[in-house]
């Protein structure tokens, strides 16, 4: 595992010649929100970020606070990742609109203990957001 200093140096020197595209779930609170804000700030707004989440008004407030450049694109897409049908629909929409994807960040998740219960799709609800949705979204977006 690289040292923290090596990570900091790599981040500081990150200056891509292209405008990166990033899709991030769990984007409107805590860790996800911080990642959105930090990368947008670091690249002076030279990035396309798709903020995936469940609260449009919070997402819009975050977007309004992000730095702007001629190359900035910030947009919100709704998705409840508990259901795989929603994840597949999101992936379909993303595939139709994006020519490529540089970063896919899986931050949606809920911490939960206790026994097994199932979503209406019959999968373990404790793993739906933290595992199955992440695999499904990655798999569906491999072409990008």
Ligand X SMILES: NC(=O)c1ccc[n+]([C@@H]2O[C@H](COP(=O)([O-])OP(=O)(O)OC[C@H]3O[C@@H](n4cnc5c(N)ncnc54)[C@H](OP(=O)(O)O)[C@@H]3O)[C@@H](O)[C@H]2O)c1
CB nearer to ligand X: pick between 13 and 116? 116
Residue nearest to ligand X (CB): 109
Count of other CB atoms within 10 angstroms of residue 113: 5
CB nearer to ligand X: pick between 40 and 79? 79
Helix (H) or strand (E) holding 21: strand 21-24
Q: Does 67 bind ligand X (CB under 6 A)?
A: no
CB nearer to ligand X: pick between 47 and 51? 51
Q: Does 111 bind ligand X (CB under 6 A)?
A: yes
Q: Does 28 bind ligand X (CB under 6 A)?
A: yes
Name the minimum Å distance from CB 114 to ligand X. Answer: 15
- For residues 27 and 54, the answer to whether their CB atoms sit within 8 Å is no
- Neighbouring residues of 121: CB distance < 8 A, sequence distance ≥ 6: 83, 84, 85
In the complex, the residues that contact ligand X under the rule CB under 6 A are 25-26, 28-32, 53-55, 79-82, 107-111, 129-130
């Amino acid at each position: 595992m690289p040292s923290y200093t090596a990570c900091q140096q790599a981040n500081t020197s990150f200056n891509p010649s292209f405008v990166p595209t990033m899709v991030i779930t769990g984007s409107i609170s805590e860790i996800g929100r911080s990642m959105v804000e930090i990368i947008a700030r670091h690249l002076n707004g030279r990035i396309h970020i798709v903020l995936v989440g469940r609260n449009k008004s919070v997402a819009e407030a975050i977007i309004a606070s992000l730095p702007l450049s001629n190359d900035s694109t910030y947009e919100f897409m709704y998705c409840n990742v508990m259901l795989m049908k929603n994840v597949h629909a999101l992936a379909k929409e993303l595939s139709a609109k994006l020519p490529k994807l540089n970063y896919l960040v899986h931050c949606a998740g809920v911490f939960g203990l206790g026994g097994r219960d199932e979503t209406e799709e019959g999968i373990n609800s404790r793993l739906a957001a933290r595992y199955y949705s992440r695999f499904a979204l990655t798999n569906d977006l491999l072409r990008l």
